Structure 1
Amino acid sequence: TFSSNFCHFFVAFLSKCAWALCGGLHGPTSYVNSKTRCSGSEFNVPPSAEFVARVSGIPTMAKLPYRETAEGLQAAFVGVPIDTGTSNRPGARFGPRQIRVESAMLRAYNSGTRAAPYESVVVADIGDVNVNVYDLKDTCRRIREAYRKIVATGCIPLTMGGDHTIAYPILQAVAEKYGPVGLVHVDAHIGHGTPFRRCVEEGLLDCRRVVQIGLRGSGYSADSYEWSRSQGFRVVQAEECWHKSLTPLMAEVRAQMGDGPVYLSFDIDALDPGFAPGTGTPEIAGLTPIQGVEIIRGCRGLNLVGCDLVEVSPAYDTTGNTALTGANLLFEMLCVLPMVKYY
């Protein structure tokens, strides 16, 4: 009996070693799953924690391969590590790094929706924009130029912030390629860094196709959202979201967005600080993580041309849960891109 058990163990051990030699230890560039351990494919697939310890290796988003450019990719995770535009607590410049660390928990399939992004999309981590932490205007120029190169390849950027200022130069580059875009903006605030006011002034947004969800908190006037409504935006305050599913809301949003290009911008402070304390400007009585997931999953079917997850500030994230939540929301964004396969 001992000899038989040992043989079974040894065979299993050799199988795992063979998988590792086929690329599992280093983030394989060929498709690998439990059925076809080393079968060839054009997709990048993270190594499974069944075979490779999560704590090993260099942290990339979801343990994907690192690439220097977006060439040949259909989607790319990009970090923009700045907090120069932060109005309250700094620290979001370290957000992309911590999101990558916590993303080691992610697996290959979305069990809730049966999405299989790594069988559908050529995706990798292309690192960070080389920002200027002393000069916000120069940083915006650098971001705009970096994203021009990314979107010129046809790649869809999935961005890790950084403070919300980054949405402005990103949308400058996105609108140069696609024209004015619709916007799904999930946030507690409309004024932080004023990226979307700048976007309206420059004609980057199709204002008939803008929705802002989760807005809340005290303000400088009785109606803090009058400006947004006057532009034609749909404003959904947090109070309208309490104690309910947001699936019906997202059905209305999909109808509003139509088939035109859409950008998704998700500030982690849209979530209640009880769930996501690691952010610069927390506001009580916010959305739940479940509602955050409902919003992103509700974007399935939209013509998404870019997404971001911003304002993770690790210094205030003592458990890592905020960055972990951010990593999972970014994975959900990957899963709703237009080309993703579902089982």
Structure 2
Amino acid sequence: MSEELSATDTSAMLTPRYAEIATFLRAPLAGDWSAVDIGLFGIPYDGGITNRAGARHGPRAIRDASSLMRMIHHVTRFNPYEVCRVADLGDVRFRSVYDHETVMADIAAFAGRAHQAGMRPFAVGGDHSVSLGLLRAAAERHGPLGLVHVDAHTDTWDQFHGSKFMHATPFRRAVEEGLIDPKRSIQIGIRGAQNSPEGWEYSREQGMRVMFIEEAQDLGPAAVAAEARRVVGEGKVYLSFDIDGLDPVYAPGTGTPEAGGLSIHEAQRFLRALDGLDFIGADLVEVAPPFDVGDLTSLSAATLIYEILCIMAGRYAA
């Protein structure tokens, strides 16, 4: 850890888990954004959903479930809070929650402030449409990015019932706007029958590496991570994890569940194997608490958020 950094105040993490204000991973609430290295924040928005709404409630439920997380990783013995300053930035506030383009602008402005403050923003949604606003902010600061995208769906369809801005289109818009480099992008866990192959074909035509679930499970987490490393290379990378990348057994509370997905253990091992990549931002999306069972999806989400935090914090350990 560099001399100018001080570790996160973890005193509140040692109180009973049912105490204190619920924050992501029990991190302190941010005051001075310039004193934060990794900023977690919520995006309570699901105006881009095509069917089962409820992801707007995701950030609040995940904050509560994340009180079960602890500090030291059981495999690596790494404590992210010792090497960098982690804080909860609160939620994006919307000027007009029924206007999707205004919502994207609000998300981009919030994430842009985080980038300008020198931190690595980590957003918790919300539906997957929010990734477009987040990528706009990240690319404005860092240029076109590599992408590691875990999902049941490519989210590269062109439109749905006349709208080009919804949760199945963010990465097509991101390619069109030059926010991501499709040749440095990989989509992992893709599955489920579709009425049109449009999304799969667009991703491949643009040069994105599309890894269907059968290939991912045949290879195993370590080989999948090695392929992700090969695709994204040494440059700056963005990580987007849709909770429906997991099998519904581990994440029933989501808008578009698809059977036959990753296990939580496969996802954890895959994420750990990405350690060392330069993730300048991340999101975890599509947790819909109204469809959850026993808070299982929120717990899975909180667990993956901790894993992602560890690999993001690893950049500060040198």
TM-score of the two chains, using structure 2 as the length reference: 0.90
1:228 aligned onto 2:203: yes
Contact 1:115–1:341 under 8 Å retained in 2: no
Task: Assess if the C-alpha contact under 8 Å between 2:6 and 2:84 holds in 1.
Answer: no
| 2:69 is equivalent to residue 113 of structure 1 | no
**2:317 maps to what in 1?**
341
Q: Any idea what SS the aligned residue of 2:84 has?
A: coil
Q: What one-letter code is carried by the residue in structure 1 that aligns with 2:208? A: F
1:95 corresponds, among 51, 58, 61, to 58
Q: Aligned to 2:121, what secondary structure does the other structure show?
A: strand
Partner secondary structure for residue 129 of structure 2:
helix
Q: 2:310 corresponds to which letter in structure 1? A: C
Query: Which residue number corresponds to residue 148 of structure 2?
Result: 184
Equivalent residue for 1:315, pick from 282, 286, 290: 290
Alpha-carbon distance between aligned partners in 1 of 2:263 and 2:198, rounded to the nearest angstrom: 24
Alignment RMSD (CA, Å): 1.7
Per the alignment, residue 91 of structure 2 pairs with 128
CA 84–301 in structure 1, closer or farther in 2 if over 3 Å, else same: same
Which residue of structure 2 lines up, in the alignment, with residue 158 of structure 1?
Answer: 122
Name the counterpart of 1:268.
Answer: 243
Q: Which of residues 300, 303, 318 in structure 2 aligns to 1:325? A: 300
Tell whether the 8 Å contact from 1:279 to 1:317 is kept in structure 2 after alignment. yes
Note the alpha carbon deviations across 1:79-122, whole angstroms, 9 max, x for none: 01100001110010010001000001111111112221011011
Q: Secondary structure at the match of 1:115?
A: coil
What amino acid sits opposite 1:135 in the alignment? Answer: D
Segment drifting more, 127-136 vs 67-76: 67-76
How far did residue 48 of structure 1 move?
6.8
Deviates more, 1:180-189 or 1:145-154: 145-154
Q: What residue is the counterpart of 1:25 in the other structure?
A: none
Query: Is the 1:229–1:235 Cα contact (8 Å) retained in structure 2?
Result: yes
Distance in 2 (alpha carbons) for counterparts of 1:59 and 1:48: 11
Post-superposition offset of 1:224: 4.8
Letter paired with 1:57: E
Structure 2 counterpart SS, 1:173: helix
SS in 2 for 1:240: helix
Q: Tell me if the contact between 1:254 and 1:298 (Cα under 8 Å) persists in the aligned partners.
A: no
The SS at the match of 2:123 is strand
Preserved contact between residue 80 and residue 162 of structure 1 (Cα < 8 Å): yes
Distance 1:110 1:340, change over 3 A: farther
Number of aligned positions between the proteins? 301
2:175 matches 1:174: no
The answer for the alignment partner of 1:44 in structure 2 is: 8
Give the match for residue 159 of structure 2: none
SS in 2 for 1:97: helix
Report the residue type matching 1:189 in the other structure.
H
Greater Cα offset, 261-270 or 185-194 = 185-194
The answer for unaligned runs of 5 or more in structure 1 is 1-40
Is the Cα contact below 8 Å between 1:217 and 1:284 reproduced in 2? yes
Q: 8 Å contact 1:144–1:172 — kept in the other structure?
A: yes
Which amino acid in structure 1 is aligned with residue 84 of structure 2?
Answer: V
TM-score, normalized by length of structure 1? 0.84
Match of 1:3 in 2: none
Report the equivalent of 1:83.
46
For 1:20, the equivalent position in structure 2 comes to none
- Following superposition, the deviation at residue 318 of structure 1 comes to 2.3
Greater RCO (CA < 8 Å, at least 6 residues apart): 2
1:56-89 deviation line (CA, Å, top 9, x unaligned): 1110111111014532211110101100001110
Q: Could you report, residue by residue, the CA deviation over 1:120-143 in whole angstroms, capped at 9, with x for unpaired residues?
A: 011100100002332211111101
1:285 to 260, 268, 271: 260
Bigger Rg over Cα = 1
State the alpha-carbon separation in 1 of the partners of residues 37 and 197 from structure 2: 45
Query: C-alpha distance in 2, partners of 1:180/1:206?
Result: 6
- TM-superposed deviation, 1:155: 0.4
SS at match of 1:137: helix
Deviation at 1:47, TM superposition (A): 3.6
Spell out, residue by residue over 1:176-224, the C-alpha distance to the aligned partner (whole angstroms, 9 max, x if none): 1100000000001123330000001111111111000011101123575
Deviation at 1:267, TM superposition (A): 0.1
Runs of at least 5 residues in structure 2 that lack an aligned partner in the other structure? 156-166
Partner of 2:180: 205
